[in-house]
Amino acid sequence: MSKDQVENINVIDEDAYAEEQYNDLILSCSKHVKVKDIKLIRKAFDLAKESHKGIKRKSGEPYITHPIAVAKIVTSEIGLGATSIACALLHDVVEDTEYTIEDIDHFFGEKIAAIIDGLTKISGVFDKQSSLQAENFRKMLLTLSDDVRVILIKIADRLHNMRTLDSMPANKQLKIAGETIYLYAPLAHRLGLYAIKTELEDLSLKYRHLNVFEEITTKIQINEKKRQQEINRFSLPIIEKLEENNIEFDINGRPKSIFSIWNKMQNKNIPFEEVYDLMAIRIIFKALNRETEKAQCWQIYSLITDTYTPKPDRIRDWISSPKANGYEALHTTVMGPTGKWVEVQIRSERMDTIAERGFAAHWKYKGDKASESELDKWIKKIREMLENPNSDALEFLDEFKMNLFSSEIMVFTPKGDLKTLPKYSTTLDFAYEIHSEIGNKAIGAKVNHKLVALNHILRSGDQVEIITSNKQKIQNEWLHQVRTAKAKSSITDAIKAETKDRIKKGKKLLETKLKELKVPPSSRVFRKIIPEYDVSTKDELYSKIGSGIILLENLKKILKKNTKNKLIRYWGLQISKSSSSGKSKKETNTSAKNKKFNYKNPLIIKEITESDNNNILIAKCCSPIPGDDVIGYKKPKDNNITIHKSKCPTAIRLMSSEGNYIVPAKWTSQKFLSSLAKLSLNGIDRIGIAADITTVISNELSVNIRKIFIETHDGIFEGEIELYVHNVNDLNNLIMNISKLKGVDSVKRKEEIVK
């Protein structure tokens, strides 16, 4: 909404404007919203309008415009009914006004109250070291296990917030955009809301990397006419064949999203011009009936491959085995008339509705048992994670994202039963997927009838048989060999149970030994024996005694020792007798005063020297250098500000989970201190190639080399160079100059971002 429009609203009557927006909502309601449902929607609108009266959004609009906009998304873009529309209108009432969940229950009933409760942010006390966003997300998931509409409405809420993010300050934009790309876009994808997922990704990119977003948008617009001509040229022969076979269809060209183009540029380290699959053709046909859908998909596939040559390794059959979110389609990639690969997606009208509206569309096809079971499986996985959630909300959030948003593989039991697991799952994950007891007793596996270890990574189509033994014991290392939350939770529970038994056994052994020595257990006794046995806590002492690591044969001798001048290590706190100030480092750091800091103002990273910028730290996970697009991360009680690349996975996680501590940051010129950068290069080997490369680096550009490694084989050389540069421009100039050398084929910056 423009500034002029907002000012006009301030002049006209707010109630009249709200009524106008409400009428638009009713007009946009889905066809399955009946006349009797309008009464419920009106009742919710009236309460929301009254509750938010006089309140403005950051943009200056009346607040009621937000819940109405969310309700429009819920009905027209997701396809939900009257209950969800009412909940969308009411979703901020409990959080922002004096109305309570009990009031909502009284006015609208238990079901709507439960959904609103799931949508309402936590207002009580929670772990101060945790993240509010992560806690809110966990609460939504708890409600999701009962009603999937909670998460669908929340996604609609996030979509409207992203569409109106211009009015927020820069630090809030980074926080919300980071949270969106980290959680909400993958969640929309998982729920099959592809159009919404794409828009969330694009908008997140816009607010995290505006220059990149605008550059790609401009290039797409410049190529629009040419792309449309290519689509028409490619489609005409297919249209003719489909019409000859009396198939009712619609065909359209779908441009690749801005985010997916950028993502491919990043992953493959290529410029825009080298992203060839900028478009995909989608064929949506009218099925004769539900039973013939699959056969018609393959018929259309055959007609296409009679015209264009298919790429053998790029066929995706999601009609025989739908995705976990219910997505069904047949994808193939063929060589087009201009010598470029083109993806073709084949769907029935029913498949297309589910593809665009995800799980919400399943209510339209109630007889679709297969798809309903996929929903049940997904909800079941969420329930399993929520049964034993990690006490740390951030770790829980990471576990959830890893297990439910990752790519999937499909593997088989010896009897042919299909199991779906996240990509990179191991045989041990498979064992725990079958049953926790099978996992606890697993000693190995047979994959496709060949013996493999428990950490063997599975691939789609593998048939797996788990070998067990009653003598097997749970090992801590297993936690690093599994990927699924179910396996990690089962292993953690088993280790805890085993540890509890060891502690109980160790405590009994120590008490018995002390009784023999006629020494009553006391704090004085533990202060003596804990440092002697090199442990930090009582439980660690008991556990090591119970497992036989610590023997108590020398306990009598230890108790007789004089420990007055010894270093005492007790309950994890170390105090040295040589401390001259009388205070530990921990005490000194805790009492240090912190400078006041304004999170809204961008941090300007000036000349970094040892003396005046020691509170600015360069993140080791992504090693940004001057000129890179960066953000800062600073907690209120810490003077240090850590600089991350904006695209660093750790930075994205922090923007999502601790967005209030994110600081917009940018570099000024950097002339004195150099930053370490890495290059990878390859090309045709020739005499003197290494000398030429080092000459360019050292002499022409006066850059210092830290390390250079070049290996040749079969007439090809590959190498890596570590060197010090002042900024990204220096590095780009260096890459350009090395690229000009005879025989050099490719020079790229090596960005070792730790995931």
Q: Can you spell out the DSSP letters for 310-331?
A: B-GGG-EETTTS--TT----EE
- The two structure tokens encoding residue 745: 């084929």
List of residues 6+ apart from 82 with CB closer than 8 A: 33, 34, 37, 38, 40, 41
Residues found in the chain: 755
Q: Is the dihedral of CA 50, 53, 58, 61 positive or negative?
A: positive
Question: Are 470 and 441 spatial neighbours (Cβ–Cβ below 8 Å)?
Answer: yes
CA–CA separation, 681 vs 704, rounded Å? 18
Question: Are 319 and 297 spatial neighbours (Cβ–Cβ below 8 Å)?
Answer: yes
3-state secondary structure at position 185: helix
CA–CA separation, 83 vs 149, rounded Å? 9
CA–CA separation, 644 vs 665, rounded Å? 9
Q: E strand or H helix at 748, and its extent? A: strand 744-749
Q: How far is CA 401 from CA 137, 382, 663, in A?
A: 11, 11, 24
| 95 part of the active site | yes
CA within 13 Å, CB half, 372:
7
| 437 part of the active site | no
Residue type, 586: K
List of residues 6+ apart from 725 with CB closer than 8 A: 625, 674, 675, 677, 703, 731, 734
Q: How far is CA 701 from CA 674, 708, 709, 743, in A?
A: 13, 16, 19, 20
Nearest to 198 by CA among 270, 256, 154, 271: 256
List of residues 6+ apart from 178 with CB closer than 8 A: 204, 208, 651, 652, 653, 654, 655, 656, 659, 662
Q: How far is CA 673 from CA 428, 491, 608, 677, 703, in A?
A: 48, 48, 7, 13, 12
Q: How far is CA 140 from CA 115, 155, 382, 405, 603, in A?
A: 9, 11, 11, 16, 34
Q: How far is CA 440 from CA 143, 455, 487, in A?
A: 31, 14, 10
Options 15, 24, 50, 95, the catalytic residue = 95
Residue with token string 């806690």: 135
Question: Are 622 and 754 spatial neighbours (Cβ–Cβ below 8 Å)?
Answer: yes
CA–CA separation, 733 vs 739, rounded Å? 10
DSSP 567: P
Question: Are 61 and 1 spatial neighbours (Cβ–Cβ below 8 Å)?
Answer: yes
CA 560 to chain centre: 57
CA–CA separation, 566 vs 185, rounded Å? 56
Q: How far is CA 726 from CA 624, 677, 700, in A?
A: 11, 10, 15
Question: Are 433 and 445 spatial neighbours (Cβ–Cβ below 8 Å)?
Answer: no
Options 37, 96, 103, 638, the catalytic residue = 96
CA within 13 Å, CB half, 463:
7
Alpha helical stretches, state H, 245-292 = 258-268
CA–CA separation, 432 vs 447, rounded Å? 16
Residue with token string 């004089």: 562
Question: Are 705 and 696 spatial neighbours (Cβ–Cβ below 8 Å)?
Answer: no
CA–CA separation, 325 vs 653, rounded Å? 24
Task: Look at strands 279-285 and 341-348 and give their pairing.
Answer: parallel
Q: What is the CB neighbour count within 10 angstroms for residue 489?
A: 20
- The two structure tokens encoding residue 281: 């053709």
Crossing angle of helices 194-208 and 258-268, rounded to 10°: 60
Active site residues: 95-96
